[in-house]
Amino acid sequence: MSAPAVLAIDAGQSGIKVRLPQGVRGDDLVLDGIRTGEPLLPQLAAVVAATRERTGARVDTVAAGISGLTDANADAAAMLDLVRDLGVRDVLLAHDSTTSFLGALGDRAGAVVAAGTGVVTLAVGAETTARVDGWGWIMGDAGSGYWIGREALDAVMRAYDGRGPNTMLTAAASDLWPDLSQAYMTLQADPDRVRIVASFAAVVARAAAADDAVARDITARAAHELAGSVRAAIAQVRTDEPTFPVCSIGGVFGSPLLHADFVADLHGSDESVRLVDPVGVGIDGVAALVAVTDTHPLAALVHRAGLAH
């Protein structure tokens, strides 16, 4: 019997990557991101249908890593019902922290902090796992792109009011909202406000590189938040490992200053925690879901339905 044809879906808010059965990195399709205000599973089913129509590929198994996946949405059986008529026999669903981990570190103990618009950290030990943060832009995501952007806009308005120091961040905000006194109303009414706020993370990175004191402070505090999340996750799973590998992935770490601050903060507290380069990306981890055995610490985080389950 031939191996099942696995369609891998890496579903984020900013975009969805799809890897065809027997596909390789570089050939992934890119679609619009998931819409958090709408039911999730029909969106994923539509991705499967559109991919089959576009490529004609046979799909036996659908594996998906999903940003912000909740217990209420992690219904693999319901997802299978939506795609069964497309020939799908098995479905695996996981939070993107799980697939980010598998993509970055593969099948070994360690911790992965994935920081983009949001942020989540997952640590995996010999027998247990621990997720830290990933609680969204209202309640968490400390050190994320949104968090950095929110701190930037707060600093801009403090400078505008005379409550804080001047900063070159003001120029970027003024380019977007010439009348800063009305910026908050415009932003609150914009359905794309989360992405807009998070976009200021790149502004902070540039200003920090230009030695703007306010941007430099935001960068250092973001790095400290991210390192703290990693430490908290590791503390919950680590046993007697002599070293513990950590991967930092996502656009936030594209700031050289933030990355350097993160490394210094992390290593300063425990030299046995070792930063390593990722072996792959998120969609590689999605494709790897099918190899997660029932005895693996991550097994409890993978929701399954179909012939093999």
Q: What does the pLDDT look like over 116-173, one tens digit per residue?
A: 988 999 999 989 999 999 898 899 999 999 999 999 999 999 999 999 999 999 999 9
Q: Is the pLDDT of residue 14 over 80?
A: no
CATH top-level class of 107-278? alpha beta
Q: Is the pLDDT of residue 1 over 60?
A: no
The confidence score (pLDDT) of residue 95 equals: 92
Assessment of whether the complete model's pTM goes beyond 0.85: yes
CB-based burial label for 63 (10 Å; 0-12, 13-18, 19+)? buried
The CATH number for 6-95+282-306, chosen from 3.30.420, 2.30.170, 2.60.40, 1.10.1060, is: 3.30.420
At 307, the pLDDT band (50, 70, 90 cuts) reads: confident
Rg (CA), the chain: 21
| Rounded Cα–Cα distance for residues 118 and 194 (Å) | 10
The more confidently predicted of residues 195 and 217 is 217
The confidence score (pLDDT) of residue 271 equals: 83
pLDDT tens digits, one per residue of 197-220: 999 999 999 999 999 999 999 999
Q: Is the pLDDT of residue 2 over 70?
A: no
Q: Find, among 76, 111, 207, 106, the residue nearest to 153 by Cα.
A: 207
The confidence score (pLDDT) of residue 68 equals: 79
E strands, 96-150, are 110-115, 119-124, 129-133
Q: Is the pLDDT of residue 309 over 70?
A: no
- The predicted model gives 292-305 an average pLDDT of 92
275 Cβ neighbours under 8 A, 6+ residues apart: 245, 246, 247, 248, 263, 266, 267
Q: Tell me the CB-side half-sphere exposure of residue 122, using CA atoms within 13 A.
A: 23
Q: Identify the three-state secondary structure at position 65.
A: strand
List where CATH 3.30.420.40 sits in the chain: 107-278
